[in-house]
Amino acid sequence: MKGKNEKLLADLCECFALMNFFIISDELSSICVPCLLKVASKKKESKEIQKEVEMALLALSAVEQYDVVQPYALRLNDTIEIIKYHQQHHNLTQLAYRYAWDILIQKIFFERNLEDVIVNELHFGREARRELEELTKCVDWKRKKGKEMNKDEAKEVLVIRKWIQTLEYFLYSCKRRNEECIVLINSVVKVFRAAKDNYSVVSYQCIKSLKNVTENKNLKVEDFLKGGAVDAALEGIQLPTIREECSTESLYFFKYVCEKLKEKTENKMEEAKRKVMKRKVLETMEEEGYEDCMVSLDRFIQSKNFFQIFALLGD
C-alpha cells in the first residue's frame, strides 16, 4: 500500500506479532517494530487511541519474548520515553502501562545497565506498588462463593496477575540489592493476603513467584523477612483448607531459604549476620506454629522429599 493505509499496516503487524509462535526474522522485525512503536507512542487520551496503544504495546511485548535483536536500542529508548510520558500525563490504560514495563524488564538479562534506569530513573518499585495497590482496591476479595466477577473486575484481576509475573521476573533477574526489592516483595505479599481466602489462582501465583525469587543469589534472607515473604509462606502452609499446590510452593520457599541460611562464610561480620538472621527466621517459625504444621503435614512432606527443611532446626 506504500504507506497509504497505516492503520491496516499496524493491524497486520499486531496480528503477526501475536500469532507468531516462532522466532521473528530481523527483516520482518524491521517492518513490525517501528510501526508498532509509532502507534504505541501516540499521546492523545481518547479511548480509541488508548486501545490502539494498548494493543501495540501488547504486540511489542510479544515480540520481545522471541529475543529479536534489531532495532534493539531504538525500541528500548522509545519504551522508556513512553513510560516517562505516562508518569507525567497518565495517558495509558493500566494494562498498557504494564505491557510497557514488560518490554523493558524482559531485556534485563541482555542489557545490564537497564537495571539502573528501571530502578533509579523510572522508579519501578514505587510505580509497581502504586499500580498494585490501586488494582487491589478495585476487587471484592471477600466475594461470596458462586458470585461471579463483572467484566471490569475480571480485567483488573488479570492485570494484577500480569504485574505479579513482571515483579517476579525483575526480582529473579536483578543483580543489585536495594530498598525497591523489599518494596516489590512486600507488594506480592499484600496481593497474596488479599487473595488467599477466595482467589486460589492468584494466591498460588504469589507464593510461587516468591519461591522462584529466592533462587536469586543476590537477594538475602533479610530481604524476604523485611518484605514479609517468610510470614506469607507460613500462611500458605496454614491455609484452613490445605491446597497442595500452595503448600508445596511454600515448602519449597523454605527449602531455598534454608539453603541460603546454611551458606557459611569466612568473613566474621557476614557470618555473625547470618547467625542472627537464622535466629530471626527460627523465631518467626516458632511463633507461627511452624513445627506443629510440619508434624501435621508429615506424610505430605515425606512424599515430596522435604526432609532438608528439618536440617535448619537442628543445625
Q: Tens digit of pLDDT for each residue in 118-148?
A: 999 999 999 999 999 999 999 989 877 667 7
- List of the chain residues with pLDDT < 50: 69-71, 242, 313-315
Whether residue 71 has a cis bond before it, omega within 30° of 0 = yes
- pLDDT for residue 70: 47
Instruction: Find out whether 100 and 83 touch, Cβ atoms under 8 Å.
Output: yes
Contact 312, 262 (CB under 8 A): yes
∠ CA 181-201-281, rounded to 5°: 45
Helices of type H across 3-93:
6-19, 26-40, 47-64, 72-89
The owner of cell 531504538 is: 74
- pLDDT tens-digit profile of 44-54? 878 999 999 99
Cα separations in angstroms, 226 against 130, 182, 230, 232, 260 = 19, 7, 9, 12, 16
User: Which among 135, 131, 152 is positioned nearest to 195, based on CA atoms?
Assistant: 135
Task: Return the pLDDT at 259.
Answer: 81
Angle between helices 26-40 and 72-89 (to 10 degrees): 10
